[in-house]
Amino acid sequence: MSLIGEAALSSLFGVLFDKLTSSDLLKFFQQEQVHADLNKWKKMLMKIHAVLDDAEEKQVTSKFVKIWLDELEDLAYDVDDILDEFATEALRRELNPEPSKSKVQKIINACVGSNGSFVRSMQSKIAEIDSRLQGIMKDKNDLELRETNGGRTKTTRSRVPTTSLVNEHTYGRDEDKKAIIKLLLSSEFSDAQLSVIAIVGMGGLGKTTLAQLVYNDDDVSRYFDLKAWAFVSEDFDIVRVTKAILQSVTSNHYETNDLNIIQVKLKEKLYDKKFLLILDDVWNEDYDDWTKLRCPFEFGALGSKIIVTTRNYSVSSTMGTTPAYELEGLSKDACWHLFKQHALGATDFTAHPELEEIGREILNRCKGSPLAAKVLGGALRTKRSPIEWKNVLNSKIWDIPKEKKGYYSGS
């Protein structure tokens, strides 16, 4: 499934939930005696929706999760089609009301539905969806996909914050770096009070790394009066994020949690300055939260820029003022260099030629993901036996707990 497909699937689930909870459709479902079936659908879809973020990450290295997501996408569209059929029938009856019925007929309708032929035509479709949903649920459990809460995987440890420092071993992002820098320095947006550029991509592609490369570029540093970096993550606490930005700008620590004091201080520091701000790993889609956070940014000089890294296209549409920059996977060659660096601490297999062929097979499972190349390479860092490498090739390394696996600096 492509990144666009994942974003579309998440959006489609929102559409399905809207339809399944629509007051007009609920009334129609009850009339047709299908409300129990569709309520069961809603509950199962909610449980499935809760694991989408985890599935997005795991599909990087698991073909089985990838297949599960593809099957789920097909199912979601079929559910949407059936709900559209119900909505169409409800509208048809509203526009062409049937003649009043006798009391006996009303009792019969209450038992079998008001349009027997329509319900009969839908029964086999409902049964098929039931069966497929049950299969999807079983596979979800077999794959051990973890539920999330508001975008957060339910783990006992939070993600380690990112910083503006870039790892010296980066590969394959030169063209992306040039493209983002061009957007930052372009005269096309220099007359805008504030431009927001969103870097969008699935977990593990290297969004943070790209932002770090841009942030530390000499031309970028000379162009802007001030630079600041803030790690946002799932916890979109406006006070915390604003304070982090202020402390990044001033290099001072602030004890207060008074949002007014913090925002006024930040406004003073940004006033009439052309600044670059990186907001890394943003999940929050709430437009009202964003407008509150950005208040101090409006006082910067013309040409100020904000880069947002996110997995979510909805975040991009909420915050971005320019078209989203969609980050693609690394080239096979770049992944190979990264894998060798983490697996061998070297640039080639001269010292261990017997491992190269297995290494290339392992590389095929990376699918252009820096995260996969790093995790797979790291798992082999102390192993030099072909048998050990083959064990990694055939293992379920994607099931390594996140607190051990960590995140690539671009998740």
Mean pLDDT of the chain: 82
* Contact indicator for 391, 187 with CB cutoff of 8 Å: no
> What is the pLDDT at residue 399?
43
Most confident range (mean pLDDT) of 167-181, 268-282, 338-352 is 268-282
Q: Mean pLDDT throughout 346-354?
A: 89
> What is the pLDDT at residue 189?
59
pLDDT at 2 over 60: no
Residue type, 341: Q
> What is the pLDDT at residue 108?
39
Per-residue burial over 236-249, b = 16 or more CB atoms within 10 Å of its CB, e = otherwise: bebeebbbbbbbbb
> What is the pLDDT at residue 337?
92
pLDDT-derived band at 109 (thresholds 50, 70, 90) equals: very low
The neighbour count for residue 216, using CB atoms within 10 Å, is 13
- Which has the minimum average pLDDT: 123-127, 295-299, 364-368? 364-368
Written as six digits, the tokens of 186 are 């372009």
Which comes out higher in pLDDT, residue 117 or 288? 288
Q: Mean pLDDT throughout 78-85?
A: 86
> What is the pLDDT at residue 22?
80
> What is the pLDDT at residue 104?
43
pLDDT at 325 over 90: yes
Angstrom distances, CA of residue 68 to CA of 11, 63, 72, 140, 209: 18, 9, 6, 8, 29
Rounded Cα distance, 262 and 51, in Å: 36
pLDDT-derived band at 396 (thresholds 50, 70, 90) equals: low
> What is the pLDDT at residue 218?
96
Using CA atoms of 332, 336, 339, 340 in order, give the dihedral in degrees to the nearest 10: 180
The model's pLDDT over 125-162, given as tens digits with 9 standing for 90+, comes to: 888 998 999 999 988 888 888 876 544 444 333 567 89
SS3 216: coil
Most confident range (mean pLDDT) of 28-37, 74-83, 112-121, 266-275 is 266-275
Q: Mean pLDDT throughout 51-69?
A: 82
Rounded Cα distance, 34 and 121, in Å: 13
Closest CA to 359 of 329, 375, 380: 380
> What is the pLDDT at residue 37?
84
SS3 328: coil
> What is the pLDDT at residue 402?
40
pLDDT at 61 over 80: no
* Residue 314 phi, psi dihedral angles, 5° rounding: -65, -35
pLDDT-derived band at 34 (thresholds 50, 70, 90) equals: confident
Q: What is the number of alpha carbons within 13 Å of residue 307 lying toward its C-beta? A: 32
Closest CA to 403 of 119, 153, 164: 153
pLDDT-derived band at 364 (thresholds 50, 70, 90) equals: confident
Q: What is 174-326's CATH number?
A: 3.40.50.300
Rounded Cα distance, 339 and 337, in Å: 6
pLDDT at 292 over 90: yes
> What is the pLDDT at residue 275?
96
Rounded Cα distance, 358 and 393, in Å: 8
pLDDT-derived band at 3 (thresholds 50, 70, 90) equals: very low
The neighbour count for residue 252, using CB atoms within 10 Å, is 8
pLDDT at 50 over 50: yes
> What is the pLDDT at residue 331?
92
Strands (E), 127-274: 148-149, 152-153, 194-200, 226-233
The domain ranges of the chain are 3-153, 174-326, 332-405
Angstrom distances, CA of residue 373 to CA of 161, 199, 325, 381: 21, 21, 23, 12
pLDDT at 283 over 90: no
Helix H or strand E segment including 252: none
* Contact indicator for 175, 167 with CB cutoff of 8 Å: no
> What is the pLDDT at residue 16?
87
